[in-house]
Amino acid sequence: MENLVVFSGSSNLPLARKVVENLGINLGEVELTRFKDGEIYVQIRENVRGKDVFFIQSTSRDANFHIMETLLATDALRRASARRINLVIPYFGYARQDRKDKPRVPISARVVADLMEKMGASRIITVDLHAGQIQGFFYIPVDHLTALPLFVDYFKNHKDIMVISPDAGGAQRAMEMAKRLSAPFAILFKRRKRANEAEIIQVVGDVERKRAIIIDDIVDTAGTLVKAAEAILRAGASEVYAAITHPVLSPPAVERIKNSPIKKLVVTNTIQLSREAQECGKIEVLDIAPLIGEAIIRVHQERSISELFR
């Protein structure tokens, strides 16, 4: 492990500290500051020449700031002659803009991928991409981890459960979770009016007297999630839980969850929660640091990542 170095950006330092604790090493020393006009300053404060470097940064609030910080750190590591620069991006920002769905719009996820690659990234490690095809935006290796085993372990002792996909795009994820839990699954059909706002059209599947678990990758303003929970209860479910990897939780999400019929929102710590979210009794956080730490070890030792999920 002597050639392994892990640095952290400013977006989720608690997660990075847990990762290195699992690895049994210390975080690398890096200076991250901001000038008064908003410019970012990055300096790697230790020797990385010939080292296998991992830089942990979720590109969440403020997404633009944390992406820029990541790009500058990557360039600094490349110029410092790191042997390999592995960007660990637990939450990959701009992933919801993965295609040209309207005239004259960018494919923003591809832009971010190009920037990271151009700056010198050797590999990307990420968790539950919003769209799996984003892996194809990179010409470098992408290790795509999933939080599904954490959710399966959390719900495995619950009775009369049913896994719900909030849309057709998430059906594969819901089917896999249902298979691991030996439970049935259902799907919601919705119509999106605009960003962060959707109308639930129909629940397809018999949820009568079931403990429903909505499985998804991102919860942002929670408007669609709350509407989904209400629709599932109207269809006859006894309780509704939600298992969602990335707790973006933009206002007024926490307030909506507090006032919703959702019994428990189970998330991971890919994104650092606000104080308001931490104090919400309905939100429970599962630690993804051991999974990320194991992935880092396997990449460093040139071992299989897929074996983690068999």
At 3-31, the pLDDT tens digits run 999 999 999 999 999 999 999 999 999 99
What pLDDT is recorded for position 140?
98
Paired residues of 46 in beta bridges: none
Question: Rounded to a whole number, what is the distance in angstroms from the first to the last CA of the chain?
Answer: 26
Which CATH architecture best describes the domain 4-146+290-309? 3-Layer(aba) Sandwich (3.40)
| Alpha-helical regions (H) of the chain | 13-23, 63-79, 108-119, 148-155, 171-181, 223-234, 253-258, 275-278, 289-300
The overall average pLDDT reported for the chain is 94
- The three-state DSSP-derived secondary structure of 102-153 is CCCCCCHHHHHHHHHHHHCCCEEEEECCCCHHHHHHCCCCEEEECCHHHHHH
What pLDDT is recorded for position 303?
95
- List, for residues 156-168, the tens digit of each pLDDT value: 999 999 999 998 8
The CATH number given to 148-286 is 3.40.50.2020
What pLDDT is recorded for position 196?
55
Q: Kindly report the pTM of this predicted structure.
A: 0.94
Taking alpha carbons only, the member of 161, 120, 164, 129 closest to residue 147 is 129
Q: Which of 75-89, 168-182, 185-199 has the lowest mean pLDDT?
A: 185-199
Position 221, amino acid: T
Where do we find the tokens 């619950």? 158
* Structure token digits, residue 125: 């490690």
Asked if the domains at 4-146+290-309 and 148-286 fall in one CATH topology, the answer is yes
Q: Where do the structural domains in the chain lie, given as residue ranges?
A: 4-146+290-309, 148-286
User: Whole-angstrom Cα distance, residue 124 to residue 95?
Assistant: 14
Q: Which of 63-72, 200-209, 219-228, 284-293 has the lowest mean pLDDT?
A: 200-209
* Structure token digits, residue 66: 């944390």
pLDDT(151) > 90: yes
100 is annotated as an active-site residue: no
* Structure token digits, residue 129: 């991409």
Catalytic residue among 190, 227, 258, 263: 190
- List, for residues 196-249, the tens digit of each pLDDT value: 566 666 888 999 999 999 999 999 999 989 999 999 999 999 999 999 999 999
Taking alpha carbons only, the member of 175, 261, 283 closest to residue 211 is 261
What pLDDT is recorded for position 38?
93
